[in-house]
Structure 1
Amino acid sequence: MATKRITFRLYPNKKQANQLHQWRKLHCLLYNACIANRKTQYKQFGHSVDYFEQQNCLPEFKKVWEEYKPLGSQALQATIKRVDFAFQRFFKLKSGYPKFKASRRYKGWTYPSPSGWSIESSGHHGHLTLNNLGKIQIRGKARDWGIPNSCTIIYKQEKWYASTTVACDTTRPTTDIGAIGLDFGVNHAIATSNEELIDNPRFLKQSQEKIKQLSKKSRRKRAPNKKKTKAFRRWLKARKAVSKIQSKVARQRQDWQHQISSKIVSDNSLIATEKLNLKGMTRKAKG
């Protein structure tokens, strides 16, 4: 059995969408409260708060803040665990000190086990049911389907998604054609051992001029600032147009990657790659 992650697009109605936004905001407030609690306890009392201490406070927390009751205990625990993970990375010097998140930048929350949600699908479209919310239509296609284990609700580019992990038996293409070696670059995306060069389609470059024009328009509009000045509708409209193009570029890039990887896997029984620091290679945009 293998574990695979499958992402479906959600289509909530207006009432459900408003409730999802409210739940996302509540998870964001909990995330920020956990960071503030750790910070205050250490600064004032020299006490390091851990995950279990904050988790054990949830029953009393929900008695005071009753709006958190419909969200489910395990989903709230997962948000607290997310804070703990951020601090563990900080202690291991892998990232900076965890920061507070604005609600508009907080993407979503997780159900870490099959509790509080269920999915009716065979891997091809279907419905997602969330406790205290109801049934939501989903669209998406999975190559392999099995038993759902966890679900993450995500909001990005003004669209809702459900990313689920499933335990399944994988279907592998059978081929004995041969072996291939791959080398990754910047000027060319992939160079194969068969002397084939696969060029980078550079979808962003194709849309760069349009993004520049729209970004220039948004800079002329009134934007929100730290003094809580409300943004003009024209600014929001311009930013939405930029976000729409960037989302399209991301989908084009992802689709191209899936097509290339599927072709390589179906044509070869053995694939070898060199261990490279791709982030370091692309930093100066030179191969």
Structure 2
Amino acid sequence: MTTTNEKVVICIGDIHGYATKIKNLWSNLQIQIKPNEFESAHIIFLGDYCDHGPHTRDVLDFLISLPSKHPKQSHVFLAGNHDFAFAAFVGALPPPPKSAEFSATWDQYKSLEEPEGWYKGDGYENMHVQGRRWGGLYKELWHPNNSSIYTSRSTFSSYGFPHGSPDFIKAFPIEHKKFLANMAWIHEEEDVCINTAQGTKHCKLIAVHAGLEKDKDVEEQMITLRARNTEFPSLKAINGRTSVLEMPEELAKHETILVSGHHGKLHIEGLRLIIDEGDGLERNPLAAIVLPSMRIIRDTDTLE
């Protein structure tokens, strides 16, 4: 039985524009979790709300509606790499510090400007590189230099605009822009309970879309993420792959839960949790993990 010190925490994987999946998952969470525990739960969405699936607009409408529909819950919406790029395109990123310009972020990726067909419409002169790439008219969805080209075409069409349209920025709903502007890059939660083979542990929880680099100072990484510092062309914690898969030793020593999405798999190794069973693919389920029980709930669950 969950005590008052064992508040239910639900971490939900990458939605990627599949409105039916998140609505079905939400219904299953309501059914499978005790009503009082569900209505007071702390819910962490791990990012990547847009792209791949056909209904990004509906997904954002659903997420935006949750605080008013479930006022006793608390909700955290992390920025995924796709959401970061989406926010960059519509002008919803925080400005870079020290009077820097977003155009300074272009240099690292300059060799990709032509093959990716970076956006050159209205406002591109001071757009973060990830926004220009996201709105780009690239010739191929995948190429050997970069396997993570943003498949944003479906996001444009969900709002009724052709890919790369400057009119999309002008007509973008203000509520959606506010949502993107307010996304957290990292979330820290004290005293989260988790059931382990050694019993129930009380841990700190850190949630970030991709993870934290194992061989770099954890606090230094977290300072950048807390500040939402946009002077960098990319951040491994949001779009990294191999370097952020494992648990940093510093966190392991302090028994910290590190939870992420992003990696296209459901992987639980000790206190390192990766919740992205969907991988942006229509055929795969959308999964959530419930703490402290460690129960996995999916949109595809059928209840007898």
Bigger relative contact order, structure 1 or 2 (CA pairs below 8 A, ≥6 apart): 2
Measured against the shorter chain, the TM-score band is under 0.3
Q: TM-score, length-normalised on structure 2?
A: 0.23
Q: TM-score, length-normalised on structure 1?
A: 0.24
